[in-house]
Amino acid sequence: MRDVRDVLIIGAGPSGLAAASRLAARGRDTLVLEEHDVIGRPVHCTGVLGHDAFAELDLPRDTILSITRSATFRSGHGEPVLVESEHIIATVVDRGPFDARLAERAAAAGAEIRTGARVEAIDVTPSGVTVTMRDSAPLRGRALVLACGANYRFNRALGLGIPRTHVQSAQLEMPFPSIPHIDVRMGRRIAPGGFAWAVPFMRGEASYARLGVLCETDARGHFLTAFEAIAREYGAPLTPPSEPRLKMLPLGPVKKTVSDRVLAVGDAAGLVKPTTGGGIYYGMLSGHFAADALDACLASDRLDERDLRAYEAQWRERIGPDIRAGLAFRKLATRLGDRGIDALMELARVDGLVPLLKDKADFNWHRGAALALLRHPAFRRAVISSIWS
């Protein structure tokens, strides 16, 4: 048994596993610690990500449940606006098997993955990192990747800070009547400061959907409201078959993503799309950036915070502009009341916003669409009059 591993990774989600695969492939002695007994369980996530990511990140295609090119958007009261596009392709994955495949690949690259291993404490000293678990001996590493998702106990202890913006979520997957498009709903009654969704897909011959809500408060209550509205429309029973899963979602980066010998990736770093909370893609990118920077720092044996800042510089350069644009867009959107959202929906129907979105929107990169909307004169007028009215 090796006494000191090169890298300890806390969390076997997409971000930690992306880092593990890359580090192990470069010959780094990598150990991933996952608190749950089964990788990928329990599932909280809707599993929607841009189809381009499959080629870019070589993602496991056998976990795809459906591929869709269309979504409807509506405010609480209004008619839906349909956005259909040949080049915006959303993919729905089965998150449990998706994470399990990523773990198989990390193991095939040489990483060790230990399940049922909940890290209780982290101690960083000038000579290394020690992690403590409840029922096994402490483990030592030269460096640590914090990939434990949206819980911030270790962030606080390590001085990394917590995301400035976060929201609540509730979601349930169930057999559901067939829905022609992804269905997104906004408005203060349904989802204050967020949105509700129904994402359809098939399991074998059976039609399913994931229904959920992202909002500022009372996720369970808003889930029930949204559920009833969506179920009524598609002829499903009006009460959910079981309780939704509740989870906090970060919507912006933590104060800093590195400290001596430590790098935070994915949700642990708050690296998600601020517009939707989608974090699989940015999380995996950040895992790769962290692995690249860490590999170089391990080679030179320089693992202080200032050395690891190469990681922070890389994610800021690559995904920072989209995160900033997303945060600005979100700030504006949350200041709109229901009347403002209605006005924008009306604008989308009559004033060419849909073609603009089709042209500028990219599933994984939201900056282009956000800037195009903010520059659109009628959009700006509607936003300003809604905020001042």
Ligand X SMILES: Cc1cc2nc3c(=O)[nH]c(=O)nc-3n(C[C@H](O)[C@H](O)[C@H](O)COP(=O)(O)OP(=O)(O)OC[C@H]3O[C@@H](n4cnc5c(N)ncnc54)[C@H](O)[C@@H]3O)c2cc1C
Interface positions with ligand X (CB under 6 A): 10-16, 33-36, 44-49, 118-119, 147-149, 151, 169, 171, 212, 247, 249, 266-268, 272, 277-281, 283
In the complex, least distance from residue 219 CB atom to ligand X, rounded to whole angstroms = 9
- Structure-block tokens of residue 81: 């606006």
In the complex, least distance from residue 20 CB atom to ligand X, rounded to whole angstroms = 11
Cβ proximity to ligand X: between 15 and 225 the closer is 15
Q: Quick one: which of 186, 165, 207 has its CA closest to 78?
A: 186
In the complex, least distance from residue 53 CB atom to ligand X, rounded to whole angstroms = 9
In the complex, least distance from residue 335 CB atom to ligand X, rounded to whole angstroms = 24
CA-CA-CA-CA dihedral for 31, 151, 212, 188, to nearest 10 = -150
d(CA 206, CA 213): 23
Cβ proximity to ligand X: between 281 and 315 the closer is 281
Cβ proximity to ligand X: between 35 and 305 the closer is 35
In the complex, least distance from residue 59 CB atom to ligand X, rounded to whole angstroms = 11
d(CA 214, CA 39): 25
Cβ proximity to ligand X: between 100 and 249 the closer is 249
Work out whether the CA dihedral 200, 202, 207, 210 comes out positive or negative. negative
Q: Counting beta carbons within 10 angstroms of the beta carbon of residue 188, is it exposed (0 to 12), middle (13 to 18) or buried (19 or more)?
A: middle
In the complex, least distance from residue 147 CB atom to ligand X, rounded to whole angstroms = 5
Q: What is the CA radius of gyration of the chain?
A: 21
d(CA 42, CA 213): 18
DSSP secondary structure letter of residue 243: P
d(CA 307, CA 296): 9
Q: Quick one: which of 289, 355, 277 has its CA closest to 323?
A: 277
Cβ proximity to ligand X: between 74 and 247 the closer is 247
In the complex, least distance from residue 281 CB atom to ligand X, rounded to whole angstroms = 6
3-class DSSP state for residue 307? Answer: helix
Contact 110, 97 (CB under 8 A): no
In the complex, least distance from residue 7 CB atom to ligand X, rounded to whole angstroms = 15
In the complex, least distance from residue 153 CB atom to ligand X, rounded to whole angstroms = 8
Cβ proximity to ligand X: between 284 and 343 the closer is 284
Q: Quick one: which of 40, 286, 253 has its CA closest to 152?
A: 253
Torsions phi, psi of 55, nearest 5? -75, -45
Contact 278, 311 (CB under 8 A): no
DSSP string, 67-88: EE-EEEEE-SSS--EEEE-SS-
Cβ proximity to ligand X: between 75 and 155 the closer is 155
Cβ proximity to ligand X: between 144 and 148 the closer is 148
d(CA 34, CA 272): 21
Cβ proximity to ligand X: between 203 and 381 the closer is 203
Contact 269, 202 (CB under 8 A): no
Cβ proximity to ligand X: between 197 and 379 the closer is 197
